[in-house]
Amino acid sequence: MPRNDTSATGRTLRIIKVSVLLAAIALYVIFAQRFSTDDLTAFVGRYPGWTVAVYFAICVARGVALIPGTPFLAAGILLFRNEPWLLLGVFLASIAVVSWMLYHLSGWLGLAAWFEKHYPEKTERMRQRLQGPYGQWFVALWAFAPIAPTDLVCYVAGTLKIPLRKFLPALLAGEAVICTLYIFILRNI
């Protein structure tokens, strides 16, 4: 049965976000000397399978908690400095999983009411554009935009029951372009 208690869901999401942020800060402060590029590259070299699995799980958790992905992609650039295509594949796979989950579970998570409350105009404009003839292009461009919340387009597409076979490839195409740009630009800095 769908959950409509948005205040409890919002509070839970805020607690998760703050907890993840505080844990990341604490780990960085405690192990600051271990967060050099050389140490991270050596760590990935010793445990490549586990590093990929843990990074993927963290990226999925990030998406479910509605935390922006750019800082996690930047961390991935440090972790997988010598394997940019692996990073792109893992990050896009996490986006696909999270997008699929938000598409299907947005009502249960209480995101429907949250987005309606916080972004009513954007939500309505998105509905109109998604149902138009260029809906897939809109999704791809939305996913490409670095400041646009991808979670919002997943929610709206899920509530409108846009076919997943149209929605997900368009979303991943836009994300692939922006993530590739980030990876290859930030990797050289």
37 Cβ contact partners less than 8 Å away, ≥ 6 residues apart: 78, 81
DSSP state of 133: T
pLDDT reported for residue 16: 79
70 Cβ contact partners less than 8 Å away, ≥ 6 residues apart: 146, 182
pLDDT reported for residue 4: 47
108 Cβ contact partners less than 8 Å away, ≥ 6 residues apart: 2, 3
pLDDT reported for residue 68: 84
Q: How far separated are the first and last CA of the chain, in Å rounded?
A: 49
Show pLDDT as tens, one digit a residue, over the chain (189 residues): 444 445 666 677 678 777 877 887 787 778 777 666 677 667 767 776 788 888 899 899 888 777 888 888 988 888 888 889 999 999 999 999 999 988 888 767 666 677 778 878 877 887 888 888 888 898 898 888 877 778 878 888 887 778 888 889 999 999 999 999 999 888 777
pLDDT reported for residue 91: 95
Q: Which residue has the tokens 């509530």?
A: 159
**pTM tops 0.75:** no
Task: Give the Cα separation of 159 and 147 in Å (integer).
Answer: 22
pLDDT reported for residue 44: 66
User: To 10 degrees, what angle do helices 150-160 and 84-109 make?
Assistant: 50
33 half-sphere exposure, CB direction, 13 A CA radius: 0
Say if residues 59 and 70 touch (Cβ distance below 8 Å): no
Task: Give the Cα separation of 31 and 43 in Å (integer).
Answer: 14
pLDDT reported for residue 97: 94
Residue 59's nearest CA partner among 89, 33, 15 is: 89
